[in-house]
Chains A and B, each alone.
Chain A
Amino acid sequence: DTAVSQTPKYLVTQMGNDKSIKCEQNLGHDTMYWYKQDSKKFLKIMFSYNNKELIINETVPNRFSPKSPDKAHLNLHINSLELGDSAVYFCASSQEVVGKANTGELFFGEGSRLTVL
């Protein structure tokens, strides 16, 4: 069983469209993340959720809206897609507990490559 799975793996779409990427983890973790890796290969954190609560929200356009229906799922919806949104999007999960020294070990999915034409 894949620990962190993302769908779709590849997504090609036109500018202006709305698309979603889904992420599920079966590790029992309570924290999930979205990272973006652009063409220059830099990995940047976008969002983090803990038990469905948003805890990290980097400077990301409002067109990006994460949704966490439960702690095992964190989906990313993108409105009005732009050329600059083309990237590989990685979902990750970890076990983070308030007040404890967490390991900081993140488990990443295989990525979803989004191409905006």
Chain B
Amino acid sequence: DAKTTQPPSMDCAEGRAANLPCNHSTISGNEYVYWYRQIHSQGPQYIIHGLKNNETNEMASLIITEDRKSSTLILPHATLRDTAVYYCIVRVGGYGNKLVFGAGTILRVKS
């Protein structure tokens, strides 16, 4: 699986958009980009995933560059409860392929 690079930490003001970047310059054509988060003392939680196109769901938006070498997770209106470690993962789609978690980005949402 391709490796990802994320900043170790970021701060965001409550109510503002949080934009979390991820570099995955060696991504292969059949690898998806996944985002998970882990709130303190809880299990990781799936947020969103995509292959080429931008994706949006009730939690976040995922913007993938045209060359697919980087992506950005956007939390449109961050709240204090969004303080967590955010993991960007690339993974081949399909049966039996594992999710490999890196160090992630610690997002601190401040009032």
Q: Hey, which bits of chain A sit against chain B, CB under 8 A?
A: 4, 35, 41-45, 48, 50, 55-56, 90, 92, 96-111
Q: Which of the residues A35, A48, A101 comes within 8 Å of B93, measured between beta carbons?
A: A101
Query: A103 near B95 (CB under 8 angstroms)?
Result: no
**Interface size band for B:** 20 to 34
Q: Which of the residues A98, A99, A108 comes within 8 Å of B43, measured between beta carbons?
A: A108
Query: A102 near B94 (CB under 8 angstroms)?
Result: yes
* Extra A-B contacts (12), CB below 8 Å, given A42-B101, A44-B101, A48-B98: A45-B98, A48-B96, A50-B95, A50-B96, A92-B43, A96-B96, A100-B94, A102-B93, A104-B91, A105-B49, A109-B43, A110-B43
Mostly helix, strand, loop or mixed at chain A's interface?
A: loop
Q: Judge if B34 is at the interface, Cβ distance under 8 Å.
A: yes
Query: A45 near B46 (CB under 8 angstroms)?
Result: no
Query: B96 near A106 (CB under 8 angstroms)?
Result: no
Q: Which of the residues A43, A97, A105, A109 comes within 8 Å of B101, measured between beta carbons?
A: A43
Residues of B within 8 A of A108 (CB): 43-45
Give the residue among B43, B91, B101 with the most A Cβ atoms within 10 A. B43
Residues of A within 8 A of B95 (CB): 50, 96-100, 102
Mostly helix, strand, loop or mixed at chain B's interface?
A: loop
Residues of A within 8 A of B100 (CB): 45
Q: Judge if B17 is at the interface, Cβ distance under 8 Å.
A: no
Interface mask (B48-74 → A, CB under 8 Å = 1, otherwise 0):
010000000000000000000000000
B38 shortest CB reach to chain A, Å: 8
Q: Judge if B42 is at the interface, Cβ distance under 8 Å.
A: yes
B60 shortest CB reach to chain A, Å: 14
Rounded to whole angstroms, the CA-CA distance of A48 and B95 in the bound complex is 11
Residues of B within 8 A of A106 (CB): 36, 44, 46, 99
Q: Can you report 5 residue pairs joining A to B where beta carbons are below 8 Å apart? A: A35-B101, A43-B38, A44-B101, A48-B98, A55-B96
Rounded to whole angstroms, the CA-CA distance of A106 and B103 in the bound complex is 18
Closest partner residue, chain B, to A48 (CB atom): B98
